[in-house]
Chains A and B, each alone.
Chain A
Amino acid sequence: MKFLYKITNKLTAAILALLGTLGLWWGMGYPPFGVVVAATEEALIQQISSLEANYLAKNGAYFQMLPTHYIVPSATTTPDALARKPTDRKESWNDIIIIPDVPFSVQVHQSQNGYQIMFTQKRNGFDWSRAYGIGPDFQTWDWRREQFPGDIL
């Protein structure tokens, strides 16, 4: 009986600690971690937009994310830069959302007035991009070619 009492106490403490941690996590403005989205642009736009709204409500600012890939992909590729974060930021992709293997790189720009989700992809040696902007600071455009052959910019 005493043993059961001890176990129950420890379990309760563990559950409370876990809930406390989750509460702290949530209170700091982090969205529920482990959100998985489909490898489509529309699903990513929808999910990231939802997370931005949540983050803004908790932090009074939008979050920024650096590109998911170190090299712009031309085919479906596992993101290799998910742990990277801006030097003045505390979150990386890994803290916000689980990005699946995708055929493009994704990044998020932010300002006080909004945010922009940017997709980039290499097609036959050209850089292509698509952007979804919210707020007056950012534009939205469908896939367009960004570079001319030979340009390295």
Chain B
Amino acid sequence: MKKLILITILLVGFVALMAWLTDTDAATNAFSADFERTNSEYMRVADNASLSILADITIMARVNAESFAAANVSMIAAKQIGAGASRSYGFMINDASLCSPTDSQCLAFWFTPDGGGASEERLDSPQRFTEGLWYHVAVTWTAATSVARFYVNGAFIGSQTGVGTAIFDGTQDFRIAANRTDNFNGAWDGKQDDVRVYPRVLSQEEIQFAYRNGECTGDEPNIVGCWKLNDLSFASSTDESPSLNTLSNINTVPASDDVGLGARFIRVIR
């Protein structure tokens, strides 16, 4: 009898210990958004001062592509790029044909200083991505030097220098998973989670911290977009940042319980 009680106590203790070790934000990061390119699904928030970032910027997200667009971009988030005369900025994964050099996919940041297509600057870094896998991707762009630095899973993968030192103050919506609404050939197809925008250049340490520590809370310094995409409904998804850039759900983006990297890792140190 004593042995049975002892074994029971040990078992309960073990289960409690494992629950404690693995209990990061699994309870909160329950969902991601699953965009279907062929359904023209995206999320948007209207142009506003907080997302009209004209200088230093950081964009990051956890992404898991169902497919990459052939000979096109796969847009992660953008304030209209690649279309029209009111282009601002966009962060994307590109088909090799749109990369420099053109022998590999790349992580890319495009912007225009005057809103037009002729001056659109396309900065990127070669990186191959596999469909069906989660990646934490980030870009920082420093206006003064026009340098874009790219990160995958917290690792710096490369940089490229542009010419322009300012981003056009366009009137277009900020969109997740699409850059334009009349053509979805370059829209995102797959899941996104923990999408963030900052009007400053984050350090690699900050990006690694974001990668390792689950979703944003909205309390990060200067953050203007923190979309955890856990409350995705038919109508909207909340922005946790002080800017309150709640996203509208266009064409019924569904939620997925497959969540991004860093959401359920085992906590080693407490």
Chain A residues at the B interface, C-beta cutoff of 8 Å: 61, 64, 66, 72, 86-89, 107, 109-113, 116, 118, 120, 127, 129, 131, 136-137, 139, 144-148, 151-153
Q: How far is the CB of B80 from chain A (nearest CB, A)?
A: 10
Q: How far is the CB of A68 from chain B (nearest CB, A)?
A: 13
A146-B248 contact in complex given A153-B72, A153-B179, A153-B183, C-beta closer than 8 Å: no
A109-B40 contact in complex given A147-B117, A153-B179, C-beta closer than 8 Å: yes
When distances are taken between beta carbons in the complex, the residues of chain A under 8 Å from B116 are 148
Q: Are B40 and A146 in contact (CB under 8 A)?
A: no
A152-B251 contact in complex given A66-B40, A120-B183, A144-B84, C-beta closer than 8 Å: no
When distances are taken between beta carbons in the complex, the residues of chain B under 8 Å from A109 are 40, 181, 250-251
Instruction: Please pick, from A88, A144, A146, A152, the residue contacting B252 in the complex, using a CB distance under 8 A.
Output: A88
Determine the distance from Cα of A129 to Cα of B83 in the docked complex, in whole angstroms. 11
Q: How far is the CB of B10 from chain A (nearest CB, A)?
A: 48
Q: Which residues in chain B, 131-184, are within 8 Å of chain A measured between CB atoms? A: 173, 179-183
Q: Are A153 and B234 in contact (CB under 8 A)?
A: no
Q: Are A148 and B250 in contact (CB under 8 A)?
A: no
Given contact pairs A120-B182, A153-B183, enumerate 6 new A-B contacts (beta carbons under 8 Å): A109-B40, A131-B182, A148-B117, A151-B117, A153-B72, A153-B179
Q: Which residues in chain B, 96-148, are within 8 Å of chain A measured between CB atoms? A: 98, 116-118
Determine whether B185 belongs to the interface, using a CB cutoff of 8 Å to chain A: yes
Q: Is the interface of B mostly helix, strand, loop or mixed?
A: loop
A112-B72 contact in complex given A64-B40, A86-B251, A151-B117, C-beta closer than 8 Å: no
Count of interface residues, chain B, beta-carbon cutoff 8 Å: 34
Determine whether B38 belongs to the interface, using a CB cutoff of 8 Å to chain A: yes
Q: Which residues in chain B, 30-50, are within 8 Å of chain A measured between CB atoms? A: 36, 38-40, 44, 46
When distances are taken between beta carbons in the complex, the residues of chain A under 8 Å from B39 are 64, 66, 86-89
When A and B form their complex, which 4 residue pairs have the shortest distance between CB atoms, in order from nearest?
A148-B117, A153-B82, A86-B39, A129-B182
When distances are taken between beta carbons in the complex, the residues of chain B under 8 Å from A61 are 234
**Chain A: which residue is nearest B44 at the CB level?**
A137
Q: Are B183 and A88 in contact (CB under 8 A)?
A: no
Determine the distance from Cα of A76 to Cα of B96 in the docked complex, in whole angstroms. 35
Instruction: Please pick, from A111, A113, A146, the residue contacting B183 in the complex, using a CB distance under 8 A.
Output: A146
Q: How far is the CB of B250 from chain A (nearest CB, A)?
A: 5
Determine whether B229 belongs to the interface, using a CB cutoff of 8 Å to chain A: no
Q: Are A153 and B185 in contact (CB under 8 A)?
A: yes
When distances are taken between beta carbons in the complex, the residues of chain A under 8 Å from B251 are 64, 86, 109-111
